[in-house]
């Protein structure tokens, strides 16, 4: 089994991360790779971008029959469902089907699987592990969750290991240990009198059964952590040419470096390029060519060309600046589309500007 390539789309919310992940998925599929796009963003944008009515926790095929796709290429998409992923993992990792069913029915499990802080990221790790080991994909693209600290997602696999393999859970899942001192026994008797034997039994059972699966969760976390830090993984930072986005990009690069992660490249979305067609092709002359109207039209065209080229110059400078900040990494640029997003044919307009279909605008291969 060869390890699939893992491409992680990072960036703050609203820059076009989900759209870029969808377009990248399409680009790899068109180039002949068996590709899957996983979104961890609870918003339904990935389905919208691919023109699908809905997505769920299992990879769903995307119909590419309207496009010309290299042999072998396919695209699947899925949206992380935290609870379903937790339940499936429990079924896979429990020592027996009976133990799994008991844990799934336990009321403390139900609370933990829906309300545990960080559960979304933990289950993203688990889902990624499933995709990495499925032996069905050449390329896995992840639309990382929008979070205050973009780097949080990459810390989750280690947190999973710490949580499930750490001293707290070990102590709790190991009955007898921790209940030995006289003070602890008195405390326990007091808790028992407050909540009753049923509750205590449920809690004890929760920790006992969780103990059976926690080793598996920790092992998966360790495997994903290794994959994220290996050569099979590339980080792409999706951003825009605005100053605020660039400031965010710079702090992301710093945080990633501190975690031993290196940036593979940038995708600058909504990138304006210099006008390469005569503007009168875009804005036909008015039919009525009376002198004042004609004059207004030609002045407006000249202004628009000047304005647009000034923006294009700023965007190009921003792209250069970003690439240099990250050590000359490649930069791909996506145009601002005025229509067409919401179907694979529309999305192809963006896919055609991305790897592996197109070399970067700037960078080593340009
Ligand atoms: N290059 C583009 N041209 C036109 N619209 C875009 C482009 N990129 C993104 N959008 C639109 O912007 C909105 C936000 O994009 P999305 O990919 O959901 O951002 P994010 O995932 O970063 O929050 C969506 O409505 C999407 O269709
Ligand atoms: Mg998104």
Residue 289 is predicted with a pLDDT of 66
Q: Count other Cβ atoms within 10 Å, centred on residue 55.
A: 24
Question: Which pLDDT band, with edges at 50, 70 and 90, does 115 fall under?
Answer: confident
How much is the pLDDT for 247?
84
Closest atom of ligand 1 relative to the 334 alpha carbon = 1
Q: Does the pLDDT at position 346 exceed 50?
A: yes
Specify which of 147-161, 173-187, 280-294, 302-316 reaches the highest per-range mean pLDDT: 302-316
Question: The tokens of 159 are what?
Answer: 């947190």
- Out of 137-141, 146-150, 294-298, pick the least confident: 146-150
Q: What is the mean pLDDT of the chain?
A: 86
- State the pLDDT at residue 39: 95
Q: Which of 83, 42, 78, 40 is nearest to 62 (CA)?
A: 78
344: confidence class by pLDDT, cuts 50, 70, 90? very high
32 close to 260: Cβ distance less than 8 angstroms: no
d(CA 314, CA 322): 12
pLDDT class for 173, splitting at 50, 70, 90?
A: low
Contact call for residues 2 and 332 (beta carbons, < 8 A): no
Ligand 1 contact via 144 beta carbon (within 6 Å): no
Token duo for residue 81: 């469902």
Question: What's the 340 CA to ligand 1 centre distance in angstroms?
Answer: 12
Domain boundaries, the chain: 5-86+118-154+225-274+316-351
pLDDT of residue 188: 67
Sort residue 102 into left (φ over 0), alpha (ψ -120 to 50) or beta.
alpha
Q: Does the C-beta of 16 come closer than 6 Å to ligand 1?
A: yes
Contact call for residues 261 and 229 (beta carbons, < 8 A): yes
- Is the per-residue pLDDT at 350 higher than 70? yes
Which among 271, 261, 298 has a CA at the least distance from the CA of 283? 298
| Confidence bin at 186 (pLDDT 50/70/90) | confident
| Higher local confidence (pLDDT), 330 or 207 | 330
Which of 13, 16, 23, 336 most suits a substitution to test ligand 1, by most atoms within 8 Å of the C-beta?
Answer: 16
Distances (CA, A) of 53 to 45, 67, 222, 234, 299: 11, 19, 35, 30, 46
| Ligand 1 geometric centre to CA of 41 (Å) | 13
pLDDT tens readout for residues 235-285: 999 999 988 888 888 888 888 888 888 899 999 999 998 877 666 666 667
Dist. CA 244 → ligand 1 center (Å):
17
Taking alpha carbons only, the member of 337, 330, 341, 334 closest to residue 315 is: 334
Please state, in angstroms and as integers, the Cα–Cα distance from residue 64 to each residue in 28, 39, 46, 61, 69, following that order.
12, 19, 16, 9, 8
* Assigned CATH class of 5-86+118-154+225-274+316-351: alpha beta
Q: Is residue 10's pLDDT more than 60? A: yes
| Whether the predicted pLDDT of 366 surpasses 50 | no
Distance 14 CA to ligand 1 centre (A): 7
pLDDT of 210: 86
- The answer, yes or no, to whether residue 214 has pLDDT greater than 70, is yes
* Residue 16: Cβ within 10 Å count: 25
In DSSP terms, 335 is beta-bridged to 271
Asked if pLDDT for residue 162 goes beyond 70, the answer is yes
Ligand 1 lined by 24 (C-beta under 6 Å): no
Q: Is the pLDDT of residue 203 over 70?
A: yes
The most confident of 17-31, 117-131, 183-197, by mean pLDDT: 17-31
- Ligand 1 close to Cβ of residue 15 (< 6 A): yes
DSSP string, 314-358: HHHHHHHHHHHHTTS--EEEEEPPSS-TTSHHHHHHHHTTSTTTS
Q: What pLDDT does residue 44 have?
A: 87
Q: Tell whether the model's pLDDT for residue 356 goes beyond 90.
A: yes
Give the number of other Cβ atoms within 10 Å of residue 334's Cβ.
22
* Token representation of residue 85: 């992923």
% of residues, the chain, pLDDT over 70: 88
Query: What's the gap in Å between 285 CA and the centre of ligand 1?
Result: 32
Note the pLDDT tens digit of each residue in 59-69. Answer: 999 999 999 99
Residue 176: pLDDT band with limits 50, 70, 90: low
- Residue 19 Cβ contacting ligand 1 at under 6 Å: yes
Instruction: Show the tokens assigned to 7.
Output: 């491409």
Contacts of 213 (CB under 8 A, 6+ apart): 89, 90, 93, 94, 103
């Amino acid at each position: 089994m060869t390890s699939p390539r893992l491409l992680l789309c990072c960036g703050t919310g609203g820059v076009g991360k989900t759209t870029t992940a969808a377009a990248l998925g399409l680009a790899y599929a068109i180039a002949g790779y068996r590709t899957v796009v996983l979104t961890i963003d609870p918003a339904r944008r990935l389905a919208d971008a691919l023109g699908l009515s809905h997505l769920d926790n299992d990879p769903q095929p995307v119909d590419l029959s309207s496009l010309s796709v290299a042999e072998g290429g396919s695209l699947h998409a899925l949206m992380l469902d935290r609870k379903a992923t937790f339940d499936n993992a429990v079924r896979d990792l429990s020592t027996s089907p009976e133990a799994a069913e008991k844990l799934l029915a336990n009321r403390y499990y139900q609370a933990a699987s829906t309300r545990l802080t960080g559960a979304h990221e933990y289950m993203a790790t688990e889902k990624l592990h499933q995709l990495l080991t499925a032996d069905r994909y050449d390329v896995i693209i992840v639309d990382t969750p929008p979070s205050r600290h973009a780097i949080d997602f990459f810390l989750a696999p280690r947190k999973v290991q710490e949580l499930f393999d750490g001293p707290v859970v070990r102590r709790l899942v190991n009955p007898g240990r921790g209940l030995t001192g006289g003070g602890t026994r008195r405390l326990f008797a007091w808790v028992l009198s407050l909540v009753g034997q049923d509750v205590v039994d449920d809690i004890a059972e929760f920790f006992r059964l969780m103990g059976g699966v926690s080793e598996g969760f920790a092992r998966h976390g360790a495997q994903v952590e290794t994959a994220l830090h290996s050569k099979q993984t590339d980080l792409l930072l999706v951003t825009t040419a605005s100053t605020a986005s660039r400031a965010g990009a710079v702090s992301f690069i710093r945080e990633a470096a501190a975690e031993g992660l290196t940036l593979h490249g940038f995708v600058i979305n909504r990138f304006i390029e210099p006008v390469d067609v005569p503007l009168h092709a875009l804005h036909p002359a008015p039919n009525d060519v009376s002198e004042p109207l004609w004059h207004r039209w030609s002045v407006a065209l000249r202004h628009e060309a000047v304005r647009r080229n000034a923006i294009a110059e700023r965007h190009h400078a921003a792209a250069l600046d970003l690439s240099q900040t990250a050590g000359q990494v490649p930069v791909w640029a996506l145009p601002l589309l005025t229509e067409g997003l919401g179907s694979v044919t529309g999305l192809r307009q963006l896919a055609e500007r991305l790897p592996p279909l197109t070399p970067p605008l700037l960078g080593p291969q340009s």
